[in-house]
Amino acid sequence: MTTPDQTVVNAGRLALAEIIRPQLLEASGDNRFRVGAGTAVGQAVAQVEQVEDLIQQGALEQSNVNVAHEMTELLTTQRSYQMNARAITMADQMMGLVNTIR
């Protein structure tokens, strides 16, 4: 880890594992998983050999989200919501007019 004064400090080692059979894992909450009951750890998980270049500090991971598509979906949803809100407002106004005519 790099401190604010740019000193590099070894904060420990990170153990890496490869999930061989994800169907043997069960959710334990907070985006965490554990090996299910009655399953040996070696059946679901394999240890990854130590590779120095596998993890880089300060590197950005590529996202699998298409920002242009998501923005288009956001605008479409926003317009749909706005149209539905206007329809409800108009229906409410018409009901008010009907009630005043009676």
Same domain, 75 and 100: yes
Same domain, 72 and 102: yes
In a 13 Å sphere around the CA of 27, the CA atoms on its Cβ side amount to 3
Query: What is the Cα–Cα distance from 86 to 78, expressed in whole angstroms?
Result: 12
Residues of the chain under the 50 pLDDT cut: none
44 occurs within a structural domain:
yes
Same domain, 70 and 44: no
Same domain, 44 and 70: no
87 occurs within a structural domain:
yes
59 occurs within a structural domain:
no
58 occurs within a structural domain:
no
Same domain, 45 and 70: no
pLDDT tens for each residue of 43-69: 888 887 766 666 777 777 777 888 899
Q: How many domains does the chain have?
A: 2
Whole domain around residue 82: which residue ranges? 66-102
Residues near 73 by beta carbon (within 8 Å), at least 6 away in sequence: none
pLDDT value for 78 = 98
42 occurs within a structural domain:
yes
pLDDT value for 46 = 86
Query: What does pTM read for this prediction?
Result: 0.40
